[in-house]
Structure 1
Amino acid sequence: MVAFDQNSGEKDDDARELPETLPWDVRPSIYDHLCLHIVSGQPGLVEAGYQLPDEERVNEDLELRWAAGALDGVMTHHTGGSDSDERVEKTIWLLLTCCEEPTAINKYRLYQHIVEEHIVALIDAVITRLLNEPQLKHDRLYELAHSFATETTDRETVKFGIALLGLYQVEENSELFHILGRHDEFTLFCAVALTNVADDSEQALWELAQNVFGWGRIHIVERLAETENEEIRDWLLREGFHNSVLTEYLAYICAHTGGLLTALHNSTQDRELLTAAGELIEALINGGPAEDMDDYDDGAAVVELYLQQIEEAPVTLDDFLHIRAIQLYLSNQEADWDVRSERGWSRECRQGLEVACKRILERPEWETRVRQGLESEDDYEFFQANQAARVLKLPTWDYHWDRLQEQPDDAGRWFHLLLVCEEPQLTQVLDFAEQQLDLDRIASGPGDAPGVGDDFKQHGCLDYILQELRRFPGQGKTLIEAGLKSPVIRNRKMAVAALATWRDASQRCELLKQVVEIEPDGHLQQQMQKLIDGQPLEE
């Protein structure tokens, strides 16, 4: 006779598979965690809210961590769905078993399966199958989905729960989706669910969009591409394209759906609109992962209106860089202007726009504006001024040198300084580097460290120094020697690349022979040996 647990009805053998604490009993759940980090009247979450309870487990074996929602975003934008019918079938079987016999062991087996899968690749196929299951016990499925969405600490089970809850038109769940959707990891699933359950799905999506700033915003704005709501269209045009991933993902949707051409026609000295228009135009010119200027029928007319209004408006350094992007676009001799002319980019149009760009960019006040920006303590303003200074060919060495001395552990400041460093300043830079960087600590021995995080700030600084030493053969021996012994492979690669430019083969071999035998990366070890043997490196 088989003995059963009186509380759950499982067999003893099954009970032994269960952990002492079931995962849905661990607190706080992801839902509880997010609720604790929402401040009424403020968008998104407070900073600590973005660190999910399962963060350590998810990133345990990863050298580089995915940003919230990034893996799902890449999979939905740049890869197809699941190619494994077997994985879908297993999910369906475990799910139906759990609904038929809602025991702890069945729920646990399903739970573990979902945690191990990447649910975004399977969910569409799973839902399609569920919709065709006439014997499905929907009350039990709903209870299971709600438990996963609100009581679990693993992101994949929360996503799975959201997706299943979205099958049921229960308006009360809208609040749940608005809470979970504030974290970019879950926004995609909550957006789909809100579309199914909210009375006014566009309004619900727009509300959620204003609470996310990364992949979540991208997913939602894409779902608002057909909106005819004027308030939402105006938001798309002025703000909706802003995201922490890449403006280019949303530039076309927001310019097209937002009606950028009409807005410019109807506006008079609308500074906010002009700034947004410049950002959208530059993103469309840059192109990339979504539709770009070559897909935008209104592109030429929009640029013409934009330049006309900029000539009459108070200008900013942002404007300068947007107009420079337009100028480079117009002067690209490799572009297929015959094809582009079908969208209004005729020779006469381009010539007129180039004259307008030149006229604006040659205004005498830009130099003063740039110098003011270079003296700013605001990093963004300094960055914009530095970009403009490069266009205007203004010297920036002194500004970069002063900023580096203020924060010598800032790798970005080393990068910008080294870009403008020439032979006369090199000794000064190398001496400062040797004083500021703990080279003994950096040269702790070759390894496979990722070089990410606070512990590797100085390794990042050294990276940019070594990268530019290729322009100065024979210089920076002490720094190169430290780079060759760094646990970060980027440092070692940069050091070897710098040594490849040296004309003194004996000094080069002296440094490389110290490390070639202990270099753990096979390819880099071969590169070192080639230099020792006097052979050129591969390009």
Structure 2
Amino acid sequence: MGFFNQLFGKKDFESGDTPDTMPWDARPSIYEHICAHINPDQIGLTEAGYQLPDEARINEGEELRWAAGALDGVMTHHGGNGNAQEQVQKTVSLLLSYCDQPTAANKYALYQHIVNESIVSMIDAVIASLLDEQKLNHERLYELAYSFMTETPDRETVKFGIAILGLYQVAENTPLFQTLGRHDEFTLYCAVALGNTADKTDLALWELARNVDGWGRIHVVERLAETENSEIKNWLLREGYRNSVLYEYLAFTCATTGGLLAALSEPHVDCELLTSAGELIEALINGGPAEDMDDYDDGAIVVDLFLNHIDSSAESLADFLHVCSIQQFLKNEEADWESRSERGWTAQRCEGLLAICNEILERPEWPDRVRTSLKSPVEQEFYAADQVARVLKLPTWNYQWKRLQEQPHDSSRWFHVMLACDETYISQVLDFAEQVLDLEQIASGADETLGIGAEFVQHSCLDCILQELRRFPGHGATLIATGLKSPVVRIRNMAVAALATWGEVASTFEPLKQAVEVEPSESLRHNMQKILKGEPLEE
């Protein structure tokens, strides 16, 4: 459990002695914290509500932080959530000791143990062991779980409390689960508890799903896969798949459970549903972490129906991009079309669908719509326009350059400017960078930091510049020299990669000679030495 010990820390709990002040008395509880940050007019919590009372302890000394619920989400979706038998046995033993003798010392011993574990990795095995205990004092276990869930300031004990309390199927606890579940860190556990507790499980899960949009929504929507409720199905189809992690996690569930085929089989489909259908189809085509288009038996007929509906109504840039994703899917010569043909993707159908895609994407009105949206102050609208412009090969430089000048410390704007930049504009861009970026702050000295956080905004801007400088050999000496002194490893790598395109002259670059002497990364120092010797870097 070394990884989890590092992640969750043992800083406050090293001693085996019972402290004078218990953790649940010394700090505010997570439950109180969440209650204080609920705004009835918005989903989830207020922004401050996502910073839990144990945040500082968990992230002490850590640059890379997990988003709420992300670690448990990755473990449950991508393996690694098996139980460690020794930890399970110790947990059960400490739990039984408390239930036999509910002393402060026994409660603290269990608390100390749980805080330093990952509950998701062992809770199923712990519960299975408890169910086999014939003499377990359930009243004491219930009281302990309730206390951990509502009174403690550390997330793993709250998760433990939710998981145990959910076994007892007490309907009065449903509001507690709905409240704690609004934070994505606890949604998984609350969803399971609601499945055991709520009178109308699907409705309870639906309420919870609408109050989260990250990993929490993924966990809850997956548990609605068997619903027969028509309202919930409609919501899944139109909104339920949308989350801040990846639509691909939920696209298959929402398309199948929501009845995408039946919805598109109707003679009239509203614009909202067509947009949702396009997003679902694109996510299924993208594939990745969950079932995709090749798992979707109705995929061919659904795409057929969608294109025939959108053919007469396509007008938004989102429509364009959805059709474009279908076009690329149909043009993929490396796919197993023989297998796909068995699921309806026949050569004749694909030829017809591709013709519809081509006709929609070649319509003359798209360029003007793109130019209009490139002027939009709405980020989402601008980025859609930028994507379409790339497909249509429309120039975007003037729009990108204007946006960068409006917000010169926005790294995403530097990224897009550098992508649109060519030899005509590169000197102009680099001069501007030297004027607006705090190069002295960036060049604070080589270190091995990841460069995450608000204090690295300037570094991120330089990063976006350097990664494209490889296309412009001989340009950007000042920025490369600055990058070589950045504490962010990636930026120094980008600076070296850019310098490597300079040819023999790179071996005489004085800032590189100075940088190699203090470079803490062995692999990067090796690359610096190769450039100084006039040797090419390995691809």
Q: Do they fold alike, i.e. is TM over 0.5?
A: yes
Which residue pairs with 1:98 in the alignment? 98
Deviates most, 96-105 or 496-505: 496-505
Question: 1:79: Cα distance to partner?
Answer: 1.2
Deviates most, 82-91 or 415-424: 82-91
Q: Tell me, yes or no, if the aligned pair for 1:466 and 1:495 is still in contact at 8 Å.
A: yes
Q: Counterparts of 1:103-118 in structure 2 under 5 Å?
A: 103-118=103-118
Which residue pairs with 2:511 in the alignment? 511
d(CA) in 2 for partners of 1:440 and 1:504? Answer: 28
Give the 3 Å change call, closer, same or farther, for CA 417–16 of structure 1 in structure 2.
closer
Q: What CA deviation, in whole Å up to 9, does each residue of 1:258-278 have, x standing for no partner?
A: 110100112514111000000
Which residue pairs with 1:157 in the alignment? 157
Q: Tell me, yes or no, if the aligned pair for 1:502 and 1:508 is still in contact at 8 Å.
A: no
- SS state of the match for residue 515, structure 1? helix
- Structure 2 residue 272 is the aligned partner of structure 1 residue 286: no
Which residue pairs with 2:177 in the alignment? 177
TM-score by length of 1: 0.96
Q: Tell me, yes or no, if the aligned pair for 2:507 and 2:532 is still in contact at 8 Å.
A: no
Q: Tell me, yes or no, if the aligned pair for 2:507 and 2:533 is still in contact at 8 Å.
A: no
Question: 1:499: Cα distance to partner?
Answer: 0.9
Q: Counterparts of 1:401-440 in structure 2 under 5 Å?
A: 401-440=401-440
d(CA) in 1 for partners of 2:200 and 2:465? Answer: 55
d(CA) in 2 for partners of 1:322 and 1:217? Answer: 23
Question: 1:480: Cα distance to partner?
Answer: 0.2
d(CA) in 2 for partners of 1:506 and 1:432? Answer: 24
Which residue pairs with 2:86 in the alignment? 86
Which residue pairs with 1:306 in the alignment? 306
Q: What CA deviation, in whole Å up to 9, does each residue of 1:123-162 have, x standing for no partner?
A: 0000000000001000000000000000000000000000
Amino acid in the other structure paired with 2:261: L
Amino acid in the other structure paired with 2:32: D
Give the 3 Å change call, closer, same or farther, for CA 53–312 of structure 1 in structure 2.
same
Question: 1:509: Cα distance to partner?
Answer: 4.4
Q: Counterparts of 1:179-328 in structure 2 under 5 Å?
A: 179-266=179-266, 268-313=268-313, 315-328=315-328
Identity %: 65
d(CA) in 1 for partners of 2:423 and 2:508? Answer: 21
Q: Tell me, yes or no, if the aligned pair for 2:149 and 2:159 is still in contact at 8 Å.
A: yes
Q: Counterparts of 1:413-492 in structure 2 under 5 Å?
A: 413-492=413-492
d(CA) in 2 for partners of 1:312 and 1:192? Answer: 44
- SS state of the match for residue 424, structure 1? coil
d(CA) in 1 for partners of 2:513 and 2:203? Answer: 66
Aligned length: 525
Question: 1:507: Cα distance to partner?
Answer: 5.2
Which residue pairs with 2:72 in the alignment? 72
Which residue pairs with 1:373 in the alignment? 373
Q: Tell me, yes or no, if the aligned pair for 2:484 and 2:515 is still in contact at 8 Å.
A: yes
Runs of 4+ in 1 over 6 A off after TM superposition: none
Question: 1:506: Cα distance to partner?
Answer: 5.4
- SS state of the match for residue 72, structure 2? helix
Which residue pairs with 2:3 in the alignment? none
Amino acid in the other structure paired with 2:305: L
Q: What CA deviation, in whole Å up to 9, does each residue of 1:292-338 have, x standing for no partner?
A: 00000111111111111112225211000000000000001111100
d(CA) in 1 for partners of 2:90 and 2:16? Answer: 22
Amino acid in the other structure paired with 1:484: L
Q: Tell me, yes or no, if the aligned pair for 1:499 and 1:508 is still in contact at 8 Å.
A: no
d(CA) in 2 for partners of 1:401 and 1:223? Answer: 46
d(CA) in 2 for partners of 1:477 and 1:387? Answer: 31
Amino acid in the other structure paired with 1:386: D
Question: 1:16: Cα distance to partner?
Answer: 8.7
Give the 3 Å change call, closer, same or farther, for CA 411–131 of structure 1 in structure 2.
same
d(CA) in 2 for partners of 1:43 and 1:386? Answer: 30
Give the 3 Å change call, closer, same or farther, for CA 508–181 of structure 1 in structure 2.
farther
d(CA) in 1 for partners of 2:513 and 2:382? Answer: 43
Give the 3 Å change call, closer, same or farther, for CA 178–506 of structure 1 in structure 2.
closer
Give the 3 Å change call, closer, same or farther, for CA 207–83 of structure 1 in structure 2.
closer
Deviates most, 398-407 or 262-271: 262-271
Question: 1:40: Cα distance to partner?
Answer: 2.7
- SS state of the match for residue 125, structure 1? helix
Q: Tell me, yes or no, if the aligned pair for 2:314 and 2:360 is still in contact at 8 Å.
A: no
Q: Tell me, yes or no, if the aligned pair for 1:269 and 1:313 is still in contact at 8 Å.
A: no
d(CA) in 2 for partners of 1:118 and 1:104? Answer: 23
d(CA) in 2 for partners of 1:471 and 1:217? Answer: 42
- SS state of the match for residue 182, structure 2? coil
- SS state of the match for residue 423, structure 1? coil
Amino acid in the other structure paired with 1:58: I
d(CA) in 2 for partners of 1:175 and 1:267? Answer: 42
Question: 1:169: Cα distance to partner?
Answer: 1.3
Question: 1:46: Cα distance to partner?
Answer: 1.4
Give the 3 Å change call, closer, same or farther, for CA 16–281 of structure 1 in structure 2.
closer
Give the 3 Å change call, closer, same or farther, for CA 146–329 of structure 1 in structure 2.
same
Question: 1:458: Cα distance to partner?
Answer: 0.8
Amino acid in the other structure paired with 2:346: S
d(CA) in 2 for partners of 1:102 and 1:61? Answer: 35
Give the 3 Å change call, closer, same or farther, for CA 89–16 of structure 1 in structure 2.
closer
Give the CA RMSD over aligned residues.
1.2
TM-score by length of 2: 0.96
Amino acid in the other structure paired with 1:155: R
Which residue pairs with 2:336 in the alignment? 336
Q: What CA deviation, in whole Å up to 9, does each residue of 1:331-385 have, x standing for no partner?
A: 0111110000011000100100010001111111111110110010101000000
Amino acid in the other structure paired with 2:103: T
- SS state of the match for residue 38, structure 2? coil
- SS state of the match for residue 91, structure 2? helix
Which residue pairs with 2:4 in the alignment? none
Which residue pairs with 1:8 in the alignment? none
- SS state of the match for residue 213, structure 2? coil
Question: 1:83: Cα distance to partner?
Answer: 4.3
Q: What CA deviation, in whole Å up to 9, does each residue of 1:44-89 have, x standing for no partner?
A: 1111111111111111132111000000000001014334210110
- SS state of the match for residue 171, structure 2? coil
Question: 1:426: Cα distance to partner?
Answer: 0.6
- SS state of the match for residue 227, structure 1? coil
Which residue pairs with 1:138 in the alignment? 138
Which residue pairs with 1:350 in the alignment? 350
Give the 3 Å change call, closer, same or farther, for CA 367–521 of structure 1 in structure 2.
same
d(CA) in 1 for partners of 2:202 and 2:174? Answer: 13
Which residue pairs with 2:528 in the alignment? 528
Amino acid in the other structure paired with 1:183: H
Q: What CA deviation, in whole Å up to 9, does each residue of 1:241-299 have, x standing for no partner?
A: 00000000000000011110100112514111000000000000000000000000111
Question: 1:106: Cα distance to partner?
Answer: 0.6
Q: Tell me, yes or no, if the aligned pair for 2:504 and 2:534 is still in contact at 8 Å.
A: no
Gaps spanning 5+ residues in structure 1: where?
1-14
Which residue pairs with 1:5 in the alignment? none
- SS state of the match for residue 82, structure 1? coil
Gaps spanning 5+ residues in structure 2: where?
1-14
